[in-house]
Every structure is written in C-alpha cells, then in structure tokens.
Amino acid sequence: MEILSHIVLGLIVGFLARGIMPGEQKMGWVLTCLLGIGGSVVAGVAGRVFGWYAAGEPAGWFASVAGALALLFVVGLLRGKKA
C-alpha cells in the first residue's frame, strides 16, 4: 500500500511541477509520476545534506515540487531546450 501512495503522490507532485514550469513538457503520465517521485528523492537527499531533514524523514510538499522543478529543468537542458 505504501508503494501505491508514493506513486499517487509522485503523480500529483509531477503534475504540479509541470504546471509551474513555463513551456511545454512533452511527457506522459508515467514520466510525470517518475518526475514527481524523483523530485521527492532529490529534495529528501538535499534536505539531509543541508540539515533540513533527519534520516528517514520524507521531504515536504514544497520541497518535493522544488526538487521536481529542478529535475524538469535538467531534463529540458538535456533535451536542448532553453529554459
């Protein structure tokens, strides 16, 4: 059940990040879900590095969306689009 909740929350975070980022991001719902989950992981790791989160503590909503935005920015750079 925990995996299903991570997938649903990743999908929500991914859609929020895609809605905030200007321009068109051509990706389906599976990549959007992976973007959200990856954003949460990036935010959690960055939070532990900077001392914002303890080990095992999940990243918050805002941090997860910020992590997904960072990943979306990097994907745009790798695809050759100007961000």
The string of pLDDT tens digits covering residues 57-79 is 777 888 888 989 999 899 888 88
Rounded CA separation 38/9 (Å): 11
**Cα(65)–Cα(16) distance, integer angstroms:** 7
Instruction: Give pLDDT, residue 26.
Output: 81
Contacts of 34 (CB under 8 A, 6+ apart): 10, 14
Asked if residue 15 lies in contact with residue 34, where contact means CB atoms within 8 angstroms, the answer is no
pTM of the model: 0.80
